[in-house]
Amino acid sequence: MTESLESLRQKIDALDETLQELLNQRAALAHQVAEVKLATDPNPVFYRPEREAQVLRRVKERNQGPLDGETMARFFREIMSACLALEQRMKVAFLGPEGTFTQQAALKHFGHAVETVPLGAIDEVFREVESGAANYGVVPVENSTEGVVNHTLDTFMTSELKICGEVELRIHHHLLAGEHTQRDKVTRVYSHQQTLAQCRQWLDAHMPGVERIAVSSNAEAARRLKDEWNALAIAGEMAEELYGLQAVQRNIEDRPDNTTRFLIIGKQDTPASGNDKTSLMVSGKNRPGLLFEVLAPFRDQGINLTRLESRPSRTANWSYVFFVDCEGHKEDGKLETVLETLENAGNSIKLLGSYPKAVL
């Protein structure tokens, strides 16, 4: 005979009680960790990306179901977020306004027990962290359909901040209407320029005569619908909810695997987590074979590159800086050898940071 509903619920109640006790025991331990950090370090660092990545990876590895590993890792993400908030409440600056994908990325990475602070531009996010007004910042760096976010790369040229993490977010764009929108009279559609580009084919096919107007963010596009009757916006779910809009058509991005990668910036160096990436900038005097010489040491050491971009150096015309992302931590012997080789060849190198590969 199957067990009665009442008996099953009693078991759930008992387990919930145990879970709650265990969560509070864990929180009390995190509190003790904070005391140790305060007692042993004059400038204690509470947020430890390498430790968080290890905890989340282990959660996924040991998971036996029936809940899947991703779901379980998201629970633990929130548990650690709440534990960290007991040690220190984090302020995380992001490219705003409220409701952007960058805010969604910040919450995915840090969990919901942080305060997120919207800022108007990428360099403002950098400045907020540099000044200490925010503990960390989150900025977009590349999209799988539209490529690199140049402004973020350029800002690293002059900033001393370090990359201490990365987040990837699957991006879904929805065509949205406001409460005053007269759907049969639409003449324009608002969105961020990158979003319009990511939905270009859909717009060509379904809204050929409608003017596309690029605005500063998807959330700004959503906000504008409040005062307009003949416009639609393209934005994500967070903006849709925040501004109380209705979806006309969901998931209009041209590529179903459309993903954006974001970076976490801060002031700290991150120790190795066991599965890391390193980002660096290399610049050298323009000469035949420069790029080849920059890449050869990585090949010689068998280090996998995950991204390569070149940007104008902004110091002289037609001179370039290479942005390299590779696997491994800067304190791994092999990567140390690469850095030495590049420096000995007269190139200048700026290490932007080693950080755990995205887990969630």
Ligand X SMILES: O=C(O)C(=O)C[C@]1(C(=O)O)C=C[C@@H](O)C=C1
Cβ atoms of 233 and 212 closer than 8 Å: no
Burial (CB < 10 A; 0-12, 13-18, 19+), residue 135, is buried
Is 33 a binding residue for ligand X by CB under 6 A? The answer is yes
Cβ atoms of 249 and 173 closer than 8 Å: no
Map tokens 């994908």 to a residue: 101
Q: Find the shortest distance in angstroms from Cβ 98 to ligand X.
A: 25
Q: Which residues contact 24 (CB under 8 A, 6 or more apart)?
A: none
Using the minimum distance from each CB to ligand X, give the nearer residue, 30 or 291: 30
Long-range CB contact pairs, 94-97, < 8 A, 24+: 94/118, 94/119, 94/125, 94/137, 94/138, 94/139, 95/119, 95/121, 95/122, 95/125, 95/138, 95/139, 95/140, 95/217, 96/120, 96/217, 96/219, 97/217, 97/219, 97/220, 97/223
Q: Find the shortest distance in angstroms from Cβ 72 to ligand X.
A: 15
User: Which of 53, 59, 73, 83 is the binder for ligand X (CB under 6 A)?
Assistant: 83
Footprint on residues 50-79 left by ligand X (CB under 6 A) = 51-52, 55
Is 87 a binding residue for ligand X by CB under 6 A? The answer is yes
Helix (H, G, I), strand (E, B) or coil at 235: strand
User: Which of 53, 56, 73, 84 is the binder for ligand X (CB under 6 A)?
Assistant: 84
Tokens linked to 258:
């459309």
Is 323 a binding residue for ligand X by CB under 6 A? The answer is no
Q: Find the shortest distance in angstroms from Cβ 160 to ligand X.
A: 22
Q: Find the shortest distance in angstroms from Cβ 67 to ligand X.
A: 20
Using the minimum distance from each CB to ligand X, give the nearer residue, 265 or 280: 265
Is 47 a binding residue for ligand X by CB under 6 A? The answer is yes
Cβ atoms of 106 and 165 closer than 8 Å: no
Tokens linked to 200:
């270009």
Q: Name the segment binding ligand X (CB under 6 A); options: 48-56, 90-98, 153-161, 278-286.
A: 48-56
Number of residues this chain uses to bind ligand X (CB under 6 A): 12
Is 113 a binding residue for ligand X by CB under 6 A? The answer is no
Q: Name the segment binding ligand X (CB under 6 A); options: 40-48, 66-74, 134-142, 151-159.
A: 40-48
Cβ atoms of 49 and 164 closer than 8 Å: yes
Q: Find the shortest distance in angstroms from Cβ 80 to ligand X.
A: 4
Is 329 a binding residue for ligand X by CB under 6 A? The answer is no
Binding site for ligand X (CB under 6 A): 30, 33, 46-48, 51-52, 55, 80, 83-84, 87
